[in-house]
Amino acid sequence: MKKLILITIIALSACAKDDTSVAETNQPNLIIKLKFDKTQQRLNNLGEPEVVVSGNAAQSPTMKKMSANYIEFAPTGTTALGEGEIIYKGLETTSGGNLAIDFQEATYAGNNEIFLSIPLNTVSAGTYEWTRVSLAYQEGNINVLSNGIEYLGTLASFVGYNSYITSFNLNNSSFDINDNKLQGFWAFETQGFTSQGQAPEGATTVPNPLFNSSPVPQGSCVVTGEFENGLTITGTETEDVTVVLSFSTNNSFEWTEVNTDGKYEPNAGEQVVDMGLRGLIPYKE
């Protein structure tokens, strides 16, 4: 009997040790969530409020999902791009020639969904005032007018500096590309009808309030936003830290007007000129 009791105690002790081991490895994470806000202020490249220019019209897409290729926390407004805490970098490839974002390997998230979760202990302790996000892809619904009938369509916007795309689908309509596409490439689908095109070079808006103190390369689509009270990582956290990246979709899809009715009419020759998100507000949830 004594031997049986001793064996039982040893077994229970081993189980307790295993449970403690599991608890010790249950480390907190840094979680990045995406949010798309049609009411958030509409900004220009300098991070200043901007209305739709005369001769153009715009609408606020209903964003379905987005992909980023780079996320960085910056301690100050003078921290150069790449000198902050880089918490995410997507895959790139030279399969299409020049270095490009590997679209087929991209990570996506929808509104109020998690884009990234990494162990918090991989993030350097400190206080970060700004965040930078290099956008890669957006997909959302827009309204299109054709022959007097308004349709709901899906727009795919490739806003990254350069994207290598083999193929993709919009509502079961296939687009075979097998090439690099520079910032501003887009594709559209509605009721089985598809089209694609390229916005003018440099036309995609990329808000950066630090334009003077910490510029970003032309065509990089690195959107910059400020934490209202900073984000502090102590390195002693015991719970997850969730950061929400709130992007402005306020009239972010813009085109040249032929018929001045505020409706997007590609059959009338109206051309897409801008698909860039119109601002970023990061905050701790």
Task: State pLDDT tens for residues 22-55.
Answer: 334 589 999 999 999 999 999 999 999 999 999 9
Give pLDDT, residue 25. Answer: 57
pLDDT value at residue 259: 94
User: Which helix (H) or strand (E) is 62 found in, with range?
Assistant: strand 62-74
At residue 7 the predicted structure's pLDDT band, cuts being 50, 70 and 90, is very low
Between β-strands 92-93 and 100-102, what pairing exists: parallel, antiparallel or unpaired? Answer: antiparallel
pLDDT given at position 260: 94
Average pLDDT of 223-232?
97
- Whether residue 239 is predicted with pLDDT greater than 60 in this model: the reply is yes
Q: What is the mean pLDDT of the chain?
A: 90
Task: Match 């969530």 to its residue by tokens.
Answer: 33
Q: What is the pLDDT of residues 87-108, one digit of tens each?
A: 999 999 999 999 999 999 999 9
Amino acid at 226: E
Window from 28-32, 139-143, 193-197, 281-285 with minimum mean pLDDT: 193-197
CA distance 104 to 118: 22
Residues β-bridged to residue 162: 182
| Kind of pairing between the strands at 222-233 and 85-89 | unpaired
Percentage of the residues of the chain whose pLDDT score is greater than 70 = 91
Any bridge partners for residue 197, and if so which?
Answer: 186
Considering all CA atoms of the chain, what is the largest pairwise distance in Å, rounded to the nearest integer? 94
Please tell me the distance from the alpha carbon of residue 123 to that of residue 212, in angstroms, as a whole number. 27
Higher pLDDT, 227 or 17: 227
Phi, psi of 78 (to 5 degrees): -105, 0
Edge-to-edge strands of the sheet including 253-256? 56-59, 253-256, 272-274
pLDDT of 219 reads 81
Of 245, 243, 244, 251, nearest to 276 by C-alpha is 251
